[in-house]
């Protein structure tokens, strides 16, 4: 209106960046902005400018002490760290978060007696993506047989589904590795890989489409 300059497309872009940074947008609009941000360009620059412009407001956030969650974070990121030691188990349960429960479940499975070997072939409904999962002793090794890894802005995340239980994340599959090592699982369970935002599902539950799945069977 009178004090509002003419809204040119460039103005719209700047306002969209501001609305995104402040957090005014609904889910769909946010997702659409985030898709555009991955491509960089003007919008990304304007978002960075607004983040900087409003950053003094961050002083209003109080510090809240938090227990050391680094063990869980490293377990998500570094496969070797996922082999949870027994003395950590009680702490993990006490912490009670979904991620801790997931790690603890894997740890529980790992503590069951050395099992016979299982395998699973994870295949896609469409396309040629194929992973082979082999379980020996307490380790699961996942190998990509064919197809491609996720693009630069997405991650593949591995899930285990036991019966009617909700999927439990076994972590993001490293894009640059052909295989990863995980503690063992059991026959009859389903392994599934979903396409998630970079770094894995933001919610702890699968948010993207299943790109491959298969059932564990005795080898």
Partner 1 sequence: MDDPIAVLIQNTATQDRAAFRELYSASSAKLMGVLLRILGQRAEAEDALQEVFTRVWLKAGRYDASKGRGMTWLIALSRNLAIDRLRQRSDHVSDDDAMAAHADPAPRAETRMIATGEARRINDCFATLEPDRAEALRGAYLTGLSYTDLATKFDVPLNTMRTWLRRSLLRLKECMGS
Interface residues with partner 1 (CB under 8 A) are 1, 3-5, 11, 14-15, 18-19, 21-27, 30, 34, 48, 51-70, 72-74, 76-77, 95-99, 155, 172, 198-200, 202-204, 207
Q: How far is the CB of 76 from partner 1 (least distance, A)?
A: 5
* Three-state DSSP state, 123: strand
Q: How far is CA 26 from the centre of its chain?
A: 22
Q: Which helix (H) or strand (E) element contains residue 135? A: strand 130-136
**Residues 114 and 138 sit within 8 Å (Cβ to Cβ):** yes
The closest alpha carbon to 37, from 55, 9, 50, belongs to 50
Q: How far apart are CA 119 and CA 187, in angstroms?
A: 8
Residues making up the chain, counted from first to last? 219
Cα gap 140→184, rounded to integer Å: 5
Q: How far is the CB of 177 from partner 1 (least distance, A)?
A: 13
- Taking the complex as a whole, how short is the minimal distance between the CB of residue 155 and partner 1, in angstroms? 8
Query: How far apart are CB 74 and partner 1 at their closest, in Å?
Result: 8
Which residue, 55 or 117, is less far from partner 1 as judged by CB?
55
């Amino acid at each position: 209106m009178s004090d509002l300059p003419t809204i040119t497309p460039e103005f719209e872009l700047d306002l969209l960046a501001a609305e995104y940074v402040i957090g005014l947008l609904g889910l769909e609009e946010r997702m659409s902005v985030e898709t555009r941000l991955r491509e960089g360009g003007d919008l990304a620059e304007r978002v960075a400018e607004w983040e900087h412009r409003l950053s003094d407001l961050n002083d209003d956030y109080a510090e809240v002490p938090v227990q050391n969650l680094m063990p869980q974070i490293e377990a998500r990121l570094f496969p070797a760290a996922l082999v949870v030691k027994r003395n950590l188990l009680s702490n993990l349960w006490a912490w009670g978060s979904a991620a801790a429960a997931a790690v603890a479940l894997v740890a529980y499975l790992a503590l069951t007696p050395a099992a016979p070997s299982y395998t699973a072939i994870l295949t896609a409904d469409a396309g040629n993506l194929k992973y082979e999962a082999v379980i020996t002793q307490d380790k699961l090794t996942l190998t990509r047989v064919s197809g491609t890894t996720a693009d630069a802005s997405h991650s593949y995340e591995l899930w285990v589904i036991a019966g009617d239980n909700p999927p439990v994340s076994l972590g993001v599959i490293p894009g640059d590795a052909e295989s990863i090592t995980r503690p063992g699982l059991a026959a009859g369970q389903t392994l599934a890989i979903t396409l998630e935002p970079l770094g894995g599902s933001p919610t702890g539950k699968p948010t993207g489409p299943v790109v491959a799945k298969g059932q564990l069977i005795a080898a």
